[in-house]
Amino acid sequence: MAPVDPHSYTDSAHPLTTHVSLSLYFDFPSSTIHAAALLNLSSPYTGQLSLDARSLTVHGVLDPQTLAPLPFTLSPPDAVKGSLLSVALDSHASVLILYSTSPDSSALQWLSPPQTFNKTHPFVYTQCQSIHARSVFPCQDTPAARICYSAKLNVPRELSAVMSARHSGRRDPVAGDVSEGFKKVDSAAALNFESLWCGDGRVVEEFVMEQPIPPYLFAFAVGELGSREVGPRTRVYAENVAAVLDSAASEFAGTEDMVRQGEKLFGEYPWERFDLLVLPPSFPYGGMENPRMVFLTPTVIKGDASGAQVVAHELAHSWTGNLITNINNEHFWLNEGFTRYAERRIVEVVQGEERAILSMGIGWRTLNEAMERFKDNMEFTKLKTNQEGIDPDNVYSQVPYEKGFQFLARIERQIGRPAFDEFIKKYIENFKFKSIDTDTFLEFLKANVPGIEKEVDLKLWTEGTGIPPDAYEPVSDLYTTIVSLANEFKLGRMPREDEVANWRGQEWELYLENLPKCVEASQVLALDARYRMSESKDYEVKVAFLQMAISSKCRDYYPEVEKTLKEVGRMKYLRPLYTALVQGSGNEEEKILAKRLFAEARECYHPIAQGVVESILAKHL
């Protein structure tokens, strides 16, 4: 076996999947999907085909032409990779797999009506990055295996569906949708599939993705959805609650301007539509760049359009990440470093240079914090990492984003922006719809920027630990003023109201990021008494403040910590708050609080977030 990815059973000697056809029946009462997956391979194959699976019940594997059963085995699950589904093929170029998901699927969060905005209908959505598509359908779950797909989603008639694909129709279910193969399998779930599929009160939503994408970009959401048009190629979707839809449409009204700026920088937008879906508060990330349908947390809706910077990031992924993809998670910076760079270029034009510099300043602080986090395991301060046996969710950090950004900014400073812009366009054109590694990028860089390796230490930047000495802390009058005011706080002086009169969330976030993590409780109380940060509607500001309050043992704010941890599931907020509660000594009260809060809030978090919090508690308790 020659694996192509430390997080996948995919074998380099096997043909890769080129297309997947899915029939998915959503059973909300049991939090499961009963399904058929038809996998088409790039060429016929004889031997044991290796596929990834996690928490799936496989009812049968068939030859799609004859419906003859194919021998298969499903291994006990590995803690990181899940199970190996091995199928015996004999000159087969396709395989039909009949299966059901589990309520424990690591990609799926099933929300009961009380957990949603509208409180009246259930909701389910996916988060497949980094290695969770295998818990929705058996596949070669590696970015090295790009697939096209079609999907039929059978859902309750009162609900609707969206996907990272083109919507091709909504219609009544018919018996012809269901493979005859279900009648060949000795499984109650399989035998009942046709009657379930054509049951009363059901509807089929059909989708097609005709461009090859890595499996982690497979995405859907099902619920009572509404939408608002915000541009010629953008609709904002959310649960059908007018207040949520209206605030989202207002926050993202400038999306088309960003798309056009992205096209000026990187070439024609390649995915036709750039729609947005605002998910319930449990969504574990700020955004997910699913092509044609970006998923967003409601915490980016801040009322001042600053949340559009997250949209700019996900938009930039349309070229760097979705069009060109890291071959596996060890080269994640190729996705995120490029995208952070592209995001700031878009923000610079659309929102102004000062906004871009503030973003860089916040990034500089988070990069330094990541170095502190990994001080005992510096492997994960590299851009090119070794992740054998490592769960990528547990080492997710801002290193690939911000160190990757710094690397690309260093190259830009060396050769000049016009030359670097030309290089990026050539890079995108050369590798579009391909998955590459760091060495491939470096060879392309050296071939197209002769002598760059003599001016920039490429090996130090990609394989070295820590922050290279030629990294760059941003400079501007506003940035310098904010950092200076933060330094004065250490000496006991709070900023005057006239000094912060024009500050928005980003300014306050940068200010708080530059304060000591632990101060006197009286200082915390005084700061909040003047500026009411604990009540901020901007979660970046609120969480940074609460993190300082916890570290300073200012227990007056623990009720607000509890409220925050119970109302949002974004890991950017969960990780620092739970870590602040449990790390260090002499904080038994905080550790007890952390355990209680997680026990009470756990079911409101996505499974990925549950795993991250569990790892934090396991490390410190």
pLDDT tens-place string over residues 57-82: 999 999 999 999 999 999 999 999 99
Task: Tell me the pLDDT band of 306, cut-offs 50, 70 and 90.
Answer: confident
Residue 360 predicted with pLDDT over 80: yes
Grouping H, G, I as helix, E, B as strand and the rest as coil, residue 71 is: coil
Give the phi and the psi of residue 559 in degrees, each rounded to 5.
-60, -35
Higher pLDDT, 181 or 269: 269
Which residues are CB-neighbours of 511 under 8 A, at least 6 positions away? 482, 485, 486, 495, 503
Helices assigned H by DSSP within 537-606: 539-551, 558-567, 571-582, 588-601
Dihedral angle of Cα 97, 102, 106, 108, to the nearest 10 degrees: 90
CA triple 333-335-340, angle to 5 deg: 85
Q: Report which of 418, 382, 398, 422 is spatially closest to residue 313, judged by C-alpha positions.
A: 398
Report whether 16 contacts 93 (CB < 8 A): no
Give me the mean pLDDT over the 596-613 stretch. 97
- Distance separating alpha carbons of residues 277 and 167, to the nearest angstrom: 14
Q: What is the gyration radius of the CA atoms in the chain, in angstroms?
A: 25
Say which range, 1-5, 134-138, 340-344, 519-523, has the weakest mean pLDDT.
1-5
Q: What is the largest CA-CA distance in the chain?
A: 79
- Distance separating alpha carbons of residues 35 and 24, to the nearest angstrom: 5
Say which range, 173-177, 184-188, 528-532, 583-587, has the weakest mean pLDDT.
184-188
Residue 190 predicted with pLDDT over 80: no
**pLDDT 10s digits, 435-482:** 999 999 999 999 999 999 999 999 999 999 999 999 999 999 999 999
Give the residue ranges of the annotated binding site for a peptide.
127-129, 284-289, 570-572
Locate 121 and state its tokens: 């209908």
pLDDT given for residue 490 in this prediction? 86
Residue 181 predicted with pLDDT over 70: no
- Distance separating alpha carbons of residues 207 and 187, to the nearest angstrom: 28
Residue 98 predicted with pLDDT over 80: yes
- Distance separating alpha carbons of residues 621 and 619, to the nearest angstrom: 6
Residue 512 predicted with pLDDT over 80: yes
CA distances in angstroms from 111 to 510, 521, 550, 604, listed in the order given: 34, 38, 30, 8
Q: Per-residue DSSP letters for 390-411?
A: --GGGG--SIIIIIHHHHHHHH
Residue 244 predicted with pLDDT over 80: yes
- Distance separating alpha carbons of residues 53 and 226, to the nearest angstrom: 33
pLDDT given for residue 18 in this prediction? 98
Residue 516 predicted with pLDDT over 80: yes
- Distance separating alpha carbons of residues 280 and 111, to the nearest angstrom: 9
Residue 177 predicted with pLDDT over 90: no
**pLDDT 10s digits, 19-32:** 999 999 999 999 99
For the chain, the distance separating the N- and C-terminal CA atoms, rounded to the nearest angstrom, is 39
pLDDT given for residue 26 in this prediction? 98
The total of other beta-carbon atoms located within 10 Å of residue 574's CB is: 23
**pLDDT 10s digits, 196-225:** 999 999 999 999 999 999 999 999 999 999
CA 168, 170, 176, 181 dihedral sign is: positive
Task: Tell me the pLDDT band of 1, cut-offs 50, 70 and 90.
Answer: low
For 303-367, where are the E strands, in sequence order? Answer: 324-326
CA distances in angstroms from 515 to 512, 527, 536, listed in the order given: 5, 12, 18
Give me the mean pLDDT over the 346-371 stretch. 95
Q: Write out the catalytic residue numbers.
A: 314, 401
pLDDT given for residue 587 in this prediction? 86
Say which range, 119-123, 252-256, 307-311, has the weakest mean pLDDT.
307-311
Task: Tell me the pLDDT band of 120, cut-offs 50, 70 and 90.
Answer: very high
- Distance separating alpha carbons of residues 214 and 220, to the nearest angstrom: 15
User: For a pLDDT cut of 90, what percent of the chain falls above it?
Assistant: 93
- Distance separating alpha carbons of residues 484 and 119, to the nearest angstrom: 46
Task: Tell me the pLDDT band of 303, cut-offs 50, 70 and 90.
Answer: confident
Which residues are CB-neighbours of 194 under 8 A, at least 6 positions away? 175, 178, 182, 183
- Distance separating alpha carbons of residues 507 and 495, to the nearest angstrom: 12
Q: Quick one: how far is CA 567 from the chain centroid?
A: 19
pLDDT given for residue 461 in this prediction? 98
Give me the mean pLDDT over the 605-616 stretch. 96
Give me the mean pLDDT over the 524-549 stretch. 96
Peptide bond preceding 135 in cis form (omega within 30 of 0): no
Task: Tell me the pLDDT band of 175, cut-offs 50, 70 and 90.
Answer: confident
pLDDT given for residue 184 in this prediction? 67
pLDDT given for residue 151 in this prediction? 98
Residue 586 predicted with pLDDT over 90: no
Give me the mean pLDDT over the 322-335 stretch. 98
pLDDT given for residue 584 in this prediction? 78
pLDDT given for residue 193 in this prediction? 83
Give the residue ranges of the annotated binding site for Zn(2+).
313, 317, 336
Report whether 596 contacts 582 (CB < 8 A): no
Per the prediction, the chain carries an average pLDDT of 95
Residue 343 predicted with pLDDT over 80: yes
Give me the mean pLDDT over the 425-429 stretch. 97
Give the residue ranges of the annotated binding site.
127-129, 284-289, 313, 317, 336, 570-572
pLDDT given for residue 31 in this prediction? 98
Report whether 53 contacts 134 (CB < 8 A): yes
Dihedral angle of Cα 516, 340, 611, 26, to the nearest 10 degrees: 140
DSSP state of 320: B
Cross-strand bridge partners of residue 126: 108
